Chain A
Amino acid sequence: MVGTDTSELNAARAALVEALVRTGDEDRDAFRTVYRLTSAKLFGICLRICADRQGAEDVLHDVYLTIWNRAGAYQPGRASPISWLATIARNRAIDWRRRQARTRAVGVEDAEAVPDGAPAQDDALLAVEAHARLHHCLEGIESRQRAAIRSAFFGGLTYAELAVQAAVPLGTMKSWVRRGLLALRGCLDGDA
């Protein structure tokens, strides 16, 4: 089903790992390679969560400074370097969004447009198998629970924001997400 060639995936990942390791030696060319290989993915994450172009640019700027400063300790033992980088970007963007939310109302509808569940077949850097399994398990849980979990992940939304977005009481939203996560864990464990 998934058309990404395994050797292509391994080569892309190896290139990124190598560039990260060399970035750790303060190799600016290697850092540019890391940027070239990952900036579109990480900017997509920042833009979606910040829902503000300038904010997303500021966050991405900080994310790459972090990568430059921390790549020195990077060891190529981590299975998916792009996941490591994407997690940094997502968390920084969430921090930014929540700081903004305290000073002005950020519309939750800004984060409403969530990517559909179709597996991305062109992303050679991400583990295809883990992706297929997570999607399989997400498809298996109740639709409102699934929608809430996806909104939380892609929008960086809190329980309170999710409840407003879905127009349900906070307790109902918590219950949906918790039960969805419980079912998800059962499925992921069972498929291992």
Chain B
Amino acid sequence: MATPDPDPDMTAAELALGVLDGDERAAALRRLVAEPGFAAEVEWWRDRLAALFADWPAVAAPAHLAARIEATLDRGAAGGAGGAANDNDHRWRTLAILASIAACVLLAVTTLLMLRPAPLPVRVPVTVTTPPPLIAAIAPTTKGAPIAAAYDRASGVVRIAGGVDVPAGRSAEVWAIRGTAAPRSLGLLPARGTARLAVPAALRGAMAAETVLAISIEPAGGSPTGLPTGPVVAAGKLSG
């Protein structure tokens, strides 16, 4: 039977619930970055739906898993916060192959990097040992001076010289956005001083000219979802 009324626009709720896929999901993720009101609505739904977690039956995790996690942390200890990324390397490589037919936006950055033809060898004079850094002026969306950012391609570290105003009990999170792919978190911006954020190995290929660096306001401790949930307060493009 035909429905007389058009369906209400519930995109924010649909994104929080996780029912969207493909192009619809990609479009919703772009709105998340571009529209603070939409982002707030998604967060409202995530908070409400979180009450359902109480209904989820607990299942004891296998005894060996705690030891496996600790072993991974031990291996990654030398690399500091990069431990998880290193451990994930093999996983990312596997994914890049599995996702060859995928339209999965979350994986698009990695996938494009892994599937594109290998670049022709570039002749580099041996005296040049480090490529010049990419720089960006991250401009606040309202007012104020841009924040200088530099990405050192040799070390894979982003330095951000300055912070943004963050409401009490919230955190500022930095994102890299390549083209129309979903934003990828680079970590949290400390309250003061120059931030040094180590870019995970799987994301380094996405750190190129035209990639947008954006700062959003998130719940304390950062986005619980791995994607921006709060308003974007500053953004700027990397350039060589």
A interface residues (Cβ-Cβ under 8 A, vs B): 20, 28, 31-32, 35, 39-45, 47-48, 57, 60-62, 64-66, 68-78, 80, 82-84, 86-88, 90-92, 94-95, 98-99, 102-103, 115-120, 123, 126-127, 130-131, 133-135, 149-150, 152-154, 156-160, 162, 174-175, 177-179, 181-182, 184-185, 188
Contacts and interface: CB of A to CB of B under 8 A. Distances in A.
A174 B102 CA distance: 22
Given A84-B224, A102-B104, A157 B51 contact: no
Nearest to B84: A65
B18 A152 contact: yes
Main secondary structure of the interface of A (DSSP, over half): helix
Interface string B16-35: 01111100000000000000
A103 B219 CA distance: 35
A118 B117 CA distance: 54
B221 A70 contact: yes
Contact of B61 (A43, A127, A160): A43
A18 to B, nearest CB: 14
Contacts of B66: 32, 35, 39
B49 A44 contact: no
Interface of B: 3, 7-8, 10, 13-14, 17-21, 46-62, 65-66, 68-70, 72-73, 76, 81, 83-84, 87-88, 95, 98-99, 101-102, 104, 106-107, 168-171, 188, 219-222, 224-226
Contact of A74 (B48, B76, B221): B221
Q: 3 closest pairs, A vs B, by CB?
A: A77-B169, A75-B220, A74-B221
Nearest to B226: A91
A84 B221 contact: yes
Given A47-B59, A74-B220, A120-B54, A160 B84 contact: no
Contacts of A72: 81
B222 A94 contact: no
A92 B88 CA distance: 13
A174 B225 contact: no
Given A35-B66, A99-B95, A131-B54, 11 more contacts: A39-B65, A61-B72, A86-B56, A88-B225, A90-B18, A95-B106, A102-B101, A118-B55, A157-B19, A181-B13, A182-B10
B221 A43 contact: no
18 contacts: A39-B65, A41-B53, A60-B61, A70-B221, A75-B220, A76-B220, A84-B221, A88-B225, A99-B107, A102-B98, A115-B55, A115-B56, A115-B57, A126-B53, A153-B17, A160-B21, A177-B14, A177-B17
B86 to A, nearest CB: 10
Contact of B220 (A31, A77, A88, A118): A77
A18 B225 CA distance: 22
B145 to A, nearest CB: 24
A68 B51 contact: no
B169 A87 contact: no
B51 A65 contact: no
B221 A71 contact: yes
Nearest to A43: B61
A41 B58 contact: yes
B83 A69 contact: yes
A126 B51 contact: yes
A66 B59 contact: no
